[in-house]
């Protein structure tokens, strides 16, 4: 298992947190912890790549720094 930590720009409320959590939980990840300004994801690098995680956050409408 690996852990990816992303700084996320554009988040301002609990709705933002939920939007990112929903998008990431659709993927084959072990766990997701999202707070305003950051996302921490545990994942199996054999099942998904860090760039796919980054893309999911961007697809939710936020910028990864």
- Given pLDDT bands bounded at 50, 70 and 90, which one contains residue 1? very high
**What is the per-residue pLDDT for 38?**
98
Average pLDDT for the chain: 97
CATH number of 2-64: 3.30.70.100
User: Interior CA angle at 24 toward 56 and 3, to 5°?
Assistant: 95
Sheet with 2-9, side-by-side order of all strands? 29-35, 38-43, 2-9, 63-64
Residues 46-64 have pLDDT tens digits of: 999 999 999 999 999 999 9
Domain range summary for the chain, segments of one domain joined by +: 2-64
Which pLDDT score is estimated for 18? 97
């Amino acid at each position: 298992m690996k852990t990816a930590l992303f700084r996320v720009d554009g988040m301002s409320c609990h709705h933002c947190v939920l939007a990112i959590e929903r998008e990431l939980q659709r993927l084959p990840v072990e766990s997701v912890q999202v707070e305003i300004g950051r996302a921490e994801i545990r994942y199996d690098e054999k099942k998904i790549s860090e760039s796919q995680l980054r893309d999911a956050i961007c697809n939710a409408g936020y910028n990864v720094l």
